[in-house]
Structure 1
């Protein structure tokens, strides 16, 4: 099997399900019982070993109290970590905001000017 397509969606979603469970300080047993499945099955889903059906995923999400769009956004965000980024910038003519202004960035993090971030495709 060609593994250049890593990570798989089931791995990304599983990692986010586990992270959410940990954020809630809940055990595998608690969430599995609330979702109506075995601890082993939930563990396999969290580790990305099992691809959950839409019904099973809905049960897990219900037990965690989160919705599918949030899970997918978090999974997508996790997939982008470390992805190559190309930044295009115009001339640095944007006004500089005073420190503490709501639109300011931490020191050294403010873009030079307006720009667009593009993710590089493999």
Structure 2
């Protein structure tokens, strides 16, 4: 498989994109949703950017604050259109800026 082939976005990236879109569509700030959900503002921001893998409890709290059923979040994440050009070939949700590539580690086994 070629290293330039597009990759499917991670679930956390899709969920974050939908949560951010919903919050913005409602005209709400990160601070407002953080307060309403009980999730810290920095953590909510990381979740929206796809940088943190949210627990099911955090997802439920954010969805509750937005009035968005978790099932609807998942449906919308599954249907999220992909933009193959905004991240150098990696498939990401349209309008989403992918986080910087994580550092890689190499492991060598010597007998």
Q: Provide the TM-score with structure 1 as the length reference.
A: 0.61
What is the CA-CA distance between 1:19 and the residue it aligns to? 0.1
Unpaired runs of at least 5, structure 2:
85-111
**Which residue is equivalent to 2:69?**
67
RMSD: 2.0
How far off is 1:73 after superposition? 1.0
Deviations 1:46-82 (A, max 9, x none): 000001001111000000001111111111111x546
Say how many residue pairs are matched. Answer: 81
Q: 1:28-54: CA deviations, max 9, x gaps?
A: 000000010211100000000001001
4+ long deviations beyond 6 Å: none
Q: List alignment gaps of at least 5 residues for structure 1.
A: 84-122
TM-score normalised according to structure 2 size: 0.67
Distance 2:7 2:55 in 1: 21
Structure 1 residues 16-95: aligned runs within 5 Å: 16-78=18-80, 80-81=81-82
More RCO (CA 8 Å, sep 6+): 2
